[in-house]
Structure 1
Amino acid sequence: MKDLNLVPIFSDQNMSDLETLTFYPYPKNKKNIQVMRPYHWNDRKKLLRDYHYIFQLYEKYLTEITDSLNLIHGIHHPVDYWRIIIGPWLHYFISITLDRFETVRIAAENHNIKFTELPNYKIEDWVPSSYVEFNHQYYSDEWNSYLFSEIIKYTNLVNSSKSSLEIKPKIYKSKKIKGYLIKSLLFFLTRITRNFPKKVHMIEVDIPQANLYRLLFKLKSFSLSYYQRVVPKKHPIDINIRKDMFRSKEAINEFEKLLDILIPLNMPTCHIEGFKIIEKQAENIFPQKVDLVITSNAYFSNEHFKVWIANQKQNLTKLWVMVHGGHHGTALFNGPGKLTEDIADRFYAWGWGNYNLPSPKLSSLNKTNLSQIGNNILFIPYNISQYSNHLDSSPIAASFEDCLIMHKKFFNCLKEINLEKKLVIRLKSGIVPRDLKKEYTELSGLNNFVYSDEESSLESISKSELVVVTYDSTFFLEALTLNKPTCLFIRKDFWEMSEHSEPYFKKFLECGILHYDEKSLARHISNVQHDYSSWWESDLVQLSVESFLIKYGLSKEHWEEDWYNEINSYLEKLSK
C-alpha cells in the first residue's frame, strides 16, 4: 500500500508530497487525490444493522441525558419528557457521528495513512443554539471538517498534525417572511388570547388557515392559531457543566467512548445554558392548558413548542402528530418516522397506520382539474447531501453517486429516441444540499431546468405529458392524485420497501409506472409517447393507482368532516 495523507474534507490547505486520501470529491484542479470508495453504507445489510445499532445507542444515551439534564436544571422529568425535547438532535447526531467515524475507521484499515492534517478551530463556535442551526450546519463542508477533526482527535484511528488552515462556521441569513406585518399581527393576537378556554389546539398543521379556523369553530374551540417561530438565542457554553454531564463508566467500544465526549460538547445551548429562558418564553407563547394538541411539523425543530408540549404532557395533555411526507409507510425502515411515532400519543397516517385521516393537501389536489398546456417530460430528482444525516431505506449520501450515473444513462437513452429536448428538470430553490444543475450539466450537457421558486409544481406538471419522479415521495403522491401520467424511476437496491407495500409496487412494475433501470423506462416512454392517456387511463393502471392512494395517499372531497368526527369523538369521550 502507498503511504497516504488523509484530509477530512476538501479545502485550500497545502498538500504534502504524499498522495492524499479524502472522503469526498476534490475540485478537479487538485493533484495527487485519491477518493475513498466504496461508501460503507452502500452495503445495505450494514446500513440496516447500523440503523438498529443507532436506535440502541439513542435509547441508552437518552437515559443518561435525562439524568444529567434533570440534575443540571433541578427538575425530575421522565425519559419521555426529554425524548420530545432533545430526541431529534440526539438521534441525528449519533447517526451523523457514526457515519463519519466509520468512514475514518475503514480508511485507516484499508490504507496506509501516515498522518492527517487537522484545521484550527474553537469548539464554542460549533455548538448550535437549536436543532434548526444544527440542521444548517450538518450540510456544510466546514462543520463536517470540524466533526471529522474531532473524531480523529479523540480516537486512535489516525495520527494527526496541525495545519495552518482555520475553519469557522458559515453564517446563515434568515429568509424574509412574506406578509411579515400581517403574520406578526396574527401571532401577537394568538399570544394574547392564548389562555381563552380551548379543548384542542393545532400548531404547525398542514391545513390552510381558513380551513383550520372553520374546523376549530365547529369544534367549539375557536381561537387564533397562528405561530411564528421564535429563534432561540445562542448562549456561551459552560464547558465545566458539559464535561461532567455523563457519569464515569467503562465504554463498550471506541465509538461509544467517542460519543461520551462529543454528545455533551455539541448539545444545543437551548437544552443546557438557555433551557430556562426557552421554558419561560414558551409559557408566554402557548396556552396554559389544553386537552389535545395536534401538529404536523412543530414536534421536530420548534424548540419552544417542544418544551411546552413536554410540560403539557406531564399534565395529561395528549399529542397527535400527523404524517407530512411520503416514504414513511412504504419504507422498510425510516429513522425520522420512528422518532415521530415514538413521541405521539396518536400518530395519524394517510391510510397505512393504526390511525388514519385524509391529507388536506392531497384532498385539495384531488379536486383540481389540471389542464395540459405543454408536452414536456418533467424530471423530478432526489436532492440529497453528500453528507448523511439520518438513516432510512433510500440512497444515503455517496450512494446517490450511483443514482446520478443511472440518470445519465436515462438521459442518453432519451437522446437515442430524440426526446431529450422535451426533458425539463425541476430543481428545488433556496439552500439545497448539492448543486444538481451543475452535476447534471457536467454529466449530460443538459440545460433545460426550472426552479421551484420560478413556477409552482402545478404549473410544471400542467406543462408536461409525463412526470418522472426519482424518489418515493410526497411529489409522487401528488402527481398520482392529480391523475397525471407518472413514472417512478428508482434503484431497487437503494429503495427497500416495507413488506405491506411490496404488492402495490409489484403492480406498479407490471403496469409500467415503476422502473428500476433506465432502459426499461426509456423503452416504456418510447412505446407510449404518442398516446400517454391510453396507457394511463387503462383499467390496470387506474386500479393500481387507486388502491395505492387509498393505502398511502388518502384523500377525500369532504376531508374536514373526517377530521371533525375524529377529533370531536375523542373530545366527547374525554368529557364523560
Structure 2
Amino acid sequence: MNLKNINQNKYLFCATSLDNDINNKEKKILSGKWCKNSGENFNEKIVKIDDLINENDYVYLQRLVDLYSEKLKTYLNKVHGTNKPCKYWNILVLPWLITYLPCQFYRWKILQETVSISNDLEFIEFQNLKKKHPKTTLEYLQLIRSSDIFNYTIFKNILDFLKKNNKINLKLIKNEKKFVQADKKISFFKSTLFEKILEPIQLLFAKKNSSLIDPNLFKKDIFFKINKATNNNPVFLFNRSLDSKILSSTKFNLNFRNQFEILKHDYIRDKDFERFINTKIFMDLPISLMEGYNNFIKSIESVKLKPKLILSGLEHYHNERYKFWLAKTVIENGSKLIVSSHGGGNQLKFSSCLQFERKIALKKLVWTKPRENNDVQIPSLKIIDNILRNKNAQSLIFLEEPSWKYPVRFEKGLCFKNFKNLKTLKKHLKSEIYSNLLYLPSVSCVREEQSQIKNFLKHQYHDNKTIFHKFKKKSKITICTFPETAFIESIFNGPTILINNFDKKPFFVNQETIVEDFKKNNIFFDDTANAAKHINKIWENPDSWWNTKDIQDLIKQYSSVFCKVEKDPVKTWIKFIKEETHAI
C-alpha cells in the first residue's frame, strides 16, 4: 500500500488488526482493543463498546429476534417449497439469530460512534480477501468471536451500506495484500464409523425409549442412573462431527440466494440498521439452512425415534443434525421438548441467549427462580458432589472470566479485562498473599491476552485449561470475576469474592437487595482494589469471616433465588422426568 494515498487530515477507521498493522497513520479510530491485540493504553481513538449497549438495546434485540424468526419462516418455506410452522423454523433458526443480530448490532453501534467523531473517513480495502461463508450455526459463532478476516468483512459490509446511503463520506484505500485462507482438511473416519456402525446400534437400543435424554446434561454416572430409573436405554446419538461430513461438498451459491426478494417490514426502532439487515440476512444465513437444507433432511431419515419427551441441554444450540431431527419430531410426532439451562447464567438480567428457548420449548429447567412463564426451578446437579476445600489450603484462586476477541451475542465480557484485574491485584495485595495466587484460565479465552498473562504470572499461571472442580481443595479464598456458574460452585465451597460491574452485568429484576447485602458483607465488589484490601484483611483466617451467621444466611438466601440445592437432586430429576412423560 502506498501511504501517500492516505490523507493525514482524515481519520483512518481500522476494523481489525489486519488493517491496523499495515499502516502507520497517527490519526486513526480503532473499532476496539482487538485492533492492537493488547489491553494497554492507546494513543489512537478507540471505540469503547461496553458503553454502547444498554437495557433498551437488549429489549430491542429480543423484539428483532422475534420479528426475523417470523419473517424467515415465510422466506425459508418459499426457498424450500415447504409449509412448515413457525416452531419448526424457530428450532432451526433461533440459535443462529441470537448470535447474528447482536453481533451485527454491536458492529453497527461501533460505526455509529465512529461517525459521531467524524463522518469523513478512510478505510483500507483488501483486494484479495475471500469471504468466508459459514456452513453451520456453530461455525458462524466460531468465526464471529475470533476471526479477524470474518469481522473485517462485516465492518466492510456496514461501511459499504453507509456510503451507499450517503451516511458517510468514505474513501477506500486499495491494498493488494494476499491472505492465506486454506480450508482445514477434515478426516471423516470417526464420523463415518459413528454413522455406519455406532449410530444404528444406538438406534436399536433407543427404539422403545419413552424419553430421549441429552447425555451432555449430566455426568456419565448420573446419566446412566436417570435413564435406568426412567426405564430408558442410555444412548449417545447425533455425533456433531457428522455436520461437517453432511456439508462437505455443499458450497455457497450466490445465484441461488439472489433469486429471492429482500425482506421488507414496518421498522421497529433503528430504521437504517434494520434496512441493512434486510439487505444482508439472506446472504449470511448458514449453508445448512439454505444450500445444505436437503442434505440434513436426508441425513435424519434413518433416525425413526419417536419419544414422548426430549430433554435437551446444549445440543439444540449448535448440533445441526440434532436440530433438524428435533424440529421434525416435535412438529410431526408431537414430542414434548424440555430444555435445561446448563449453568448459572440465568441469574443475569441480560441473558446472552435472549431467552429464545421460550419460543421452542414447552418448559425450561433452571437453577434460578422462574423468570419466564415456562421456567421450572430444579436443583443443580453441579453442587451434588461439591468437594470441600482443605482447611489448610493456601492458594488464592483466580478464576478467569471467559471472553472472546470480538463481541459475541448480548454479552459484556471484555478482552484484556482479566489482565487488568491481575495488575490491580498485584499492586494492592500484600506480596506474601499475592505469591500464593493461582490463575485458572478459561477454555474460552483471547489468545493474545493469555500470552500476556503467562508472561506476567510465570509459574502462577496454570497451563492446562481445566475446571475449577479439580482445584477446590486448594482454595483458601477464591476470586471470581463473573457472576455465573463458577461463582455459585465456589460459594458452596468456601470463602469467595466476586468482582463485577453490577451496572453492566446486573442480576435479573427485583434482586437489588441481595446485591446490596452482599456488598455490605464484602462478598461483592465493584472495584478490584477494594477487593484486594479486603483479602489482605481476612487472609490469616478467612473462615472467621465466612462462617459468620450473617454470611451463611446470605448464602442460603442467594441459593433460594439463584441456585436450588437439595440433598438428593437426582431423585427430584427422576421424579420430574417420570411425571412429564406420563402426563403426555
**SS at 2:458's partner residue?**
coil
2:31, 2:47 within 8 Å by CA — same for their partners in 1? no
Give the one of 75, 81, 85 matched to 2:82: 75
Match of 2:341 in 1: 323
Deviation per residue, 1:450-495 (Å, 9 max, x gap): 44736652332322211000111111111123x2211111123222
**SS at 1:364's partner residue?**
coil
Structure 2 distance, partners of 1:532, 1:16, is: 51
Residues 548/563 of structure 1: CA separation in 2 closer, same or farther (3 Å cut): same
Residues 112/183 of structure 1: CA separation in 2 closer, same or farther (3 Å cut): closer
**SS at 1:197's partner residue?**
coil
1:206, 1:360 within 8 Å by CA — same for their partners in 2? no
Following TM superposition, by how much is the alpha carbon of 1:251 offset from its aligned partner in structure 2, in angstroms? 8.0
Give the one of 449, 454, 458 matched to 2:469: 458
Structure 1 distance, partners of 2:26, 2:397, is: 46
**SS at 1:491's partner residue?**
coil
Q: Does 1:391 align with 2:410?
A: yes
Match of 2:288 in 1: 270
Q: Does 1:342 align with 2:359?
A: yes
1:362, 1:555 within 8 Å by CA — same for their partners in 2? yes
Match of 1:141 in 2: 148
1:22, 1:34 within 8 Å by CA — same for their partners in 2? no
Match of 1:427 in 2: 441
**SS at 2:365's partner residue?**
strand
1:489, 1:515 within 8 Å by CA — same for their partners in 2? yes
Following TM superposition, by how much is the alpha carbon of 1:403 offset from its aligned partner in structure 2, in angstroms? 6.8
Give the one of 24, 27, 31 matched to 1:19: 27
Structure 1 distance, partners of 2:220, 2:258, is: 46
1:487, 1:514 within 8 Å by CA — same for their partners in 2? yes
Match of 1:109 in 2: 116
Q: Does 1:164 align with 2:181?
A: no
Residues 322/434 of structure 1: CA separation in 2 closer, same or farther (3 Å cut): same
Residues 273/28 of structure 1: CA separation in 2 closer, same or farther (3 Å cut): closer
Residues 174/369 of structure 1: CA separation in 2 closer, same or farther (3 Å cut): farther
Structure 2 distance, partners of 1:182, 1:127, is: 27
Q: Does 1:131 align with 2:148?
A: no
Following TM superposition, by how much is the alpha carbon of 1:572 offset from its aligned partner in structure 2, in angstroms? 2.4
Q: TM-score, normalised by structure 2?
A: 0.86
Match of 2:202 in 1: 190
Q: Does 1:438 align with 2:451?
A: yes
1:202, 1:225 within 8 Å by CA — same for their partners in 2? no
Structure 2 distance, partners of 1:346, 1:250, is: 31
Structure 1 distance, partners of 2:66, 2:376, is: 25
**SS at 1:152's partner residue?**
helix
Q: TM-score, normalised by structure 1?
A: 0.87
2:496, 2:523 within 8 Å by CA — same for their partners in 1? yes
Match of 1:155 in 2: 162
Match of 1:358 in 2: 379
Residues 185/449 of structure 1: CA separation in 2 closer, same or farther (3 Å cut): farther
Q: Does 1:507 align with 2:522?
A: no
Structure 2 distance, partners of 1:459, 1:573, is: 40
Q: Residue type matched to 1:160 in 2? A: L
Deviation per residue, 1:155-209 (Å, 9 max, x gap): 313332432134465756889999x999997655313434x22211112442123
Following TM superposition, by how much is the alpha carbon of 1:151 offset from its aligned partner in structure 2, in angstroms? 1.8
Following TM superposition, by how much is the alpha carbon of 1:532 offset from its aligned partner in structure 2, in angstroms? 1.3
1:200, 1:292 within 8 Å by CA — same for their partners in 2? yes
Match of 2:550 in 1: 540
Q: Residue type matched to 2:449 in 1? A: L
RMSD of aligned residue pairs (Cα, Å): 3.1
Q: Does 1:201 align with 2:216?
A: no
Structure 2 distance, partners of 1:425, 1:66, is: 46
**SS at 1:149's partner residue?**
helix
Q: Does 1:92 align with 2:90?
A: no
Structure 1 distance, partners of 2:296, 2:195, is: 22
Unmatched segments (≥5 aa) in structure 2: 1-7
Following TM superposition, by how much is the alpha carbon of 1:304 offset from its aligned partner in structure 2, in angstroms? 1.0
Range that drifts further, 159-168 or 58-67: 159-168
**SS at 1:487's partner residue?**
strand
Deviation per residue, 1:331-358 (Å, 9 max, x gap): 1221405013332110011141241222
Q: Residue type matched to 1:323 in 2? A: S
Residues 53/409 of structure 1: CA separation in 2 closer, same or farther (3 Å cut): same
Q: Does 1:307 align with 2:324?
A: yes
Q: Does 1:471 align with 2:482?
A: yes
Q: Residue type matched to 1:134 in 2? A: Y
**SS at 2:175's partner residue?**
strand
1:251, 1:257 within 8 Å by CA — same for their partners in 2? no
Q: Does 1:294 align with 2:311?
A: yes
- After TM superposition, the structure 1 = structure 2 runs for residues 474-493 of structure 1, keeping only pairs within 5 Å, are 474-481=485-492, 483-493=493-503
Structure 1 distance, partners of 2:219, 2:389, is: 20
1:120, 1:165 within 8 Å by CA — same for their partners in 2? yes
Structure 1 distance, partners of 2:358, 2:264, is: 31
Following TM superposition, by how much is the alpha carbon of 1:227 offset from its aligned partner in structure 2, in angstroms? 4.5
**SS at 1:237's partner residue?**
coil
Structure 1 distance, partners of 2:477, 2:177, is: 49
Structure 2 distance, partners of 1:53, 1:203, is: 32
Following TM superposition, by how much is the alpha carbon of 1:18 offset from its aligned partner in structure 2, in angstroms? 6.7
Following TM superposition, by how much is the alpha carbon of 1:269 offset from its aligned partner in structure 2, in angstroms? 0.6
Match of 1:231 in 2: 243
Match of 2:46 in 1: 37
Residues 304/176 of structure 1: CA separation in 2 closer, same or farther (3 Å cut): closer
Match of 2:223 in 1: 212
Range that drifts further, 258-267 or 402-411: 402-411
Match of 2:299 in 1: 281
1:199, 1:571 within 8 Å by CA — same for their partners in 2? yes
**SS at 1:362's partner residue?**
coil
**SS at 1:336's partner residue?**
coil
2:263, 2:278 within 8 Å by CA — same for their partners in 1? no
1:95, 1:390 within 8 Å by CA — same for their partners in 2? yes
Q: Does 1:260 align with 2:287?
A: no
Give the one of 41, 44, 55 matched to 2:62: 55
Unmatched segments (≥5 aa) in structure 1: none
Following TM superposition, by how much is the alpha carbon of 1:98 offset from its aligned partner in structure 2, in angstroms? 1.4
Residues 261/451 of structure 1: CA separation in 2 closer, same or farther (3 Å cut): farther
- After TM superposition, the structure 1 = structure 2 runs for residues 237-256 of structure 1, keeping only pairs within 5 Å, are 237-247=252-262, 249=264, 252=267, 253-256=271-274
2:126, 2:177 within 8 Å by CA — same for their partners in 1? yes
Following TM superposition, by how much is the alpha carbon of 1:240 offset from its aligned partner in structure 2, in angstroms? 2.2
Range that drifts further, 541-550 or 112-121: 112-121
Following TM superposition, by how much is the alpha carbon of 1:434 offset from its aligned partner in structure 2, in angstroms? 4.0
Match of 1:376 in 2: 395
Range that drifts further, 10-19 or 80-89: 10-19
Structure 2 distance, partners of 1:352, 1:495, is: 18
Following TM superposition, by how much is the alpha carbon of 1:35 offset from its aligned partner in structure 2, in angstroms? 3.5
1:379, 1:468 within 8 Å by CA — same for their partners in 2? yes
Q: Does 1:9 align with 2:16?
A: yes
Residues 396/42 of structure 1: CA separation in 2 closer, same or farther (3 Å cut): farther
Structure 2 distance, partners of 1:339, 1:209, is: 28
Range that drifts further, 470-479 or 166-175: 166-175
2:365, 2:378 within 8 Å by CA — same for their partners in 1? yes
Structure 1 distance, partners of 2:557, 2:497, is: 16
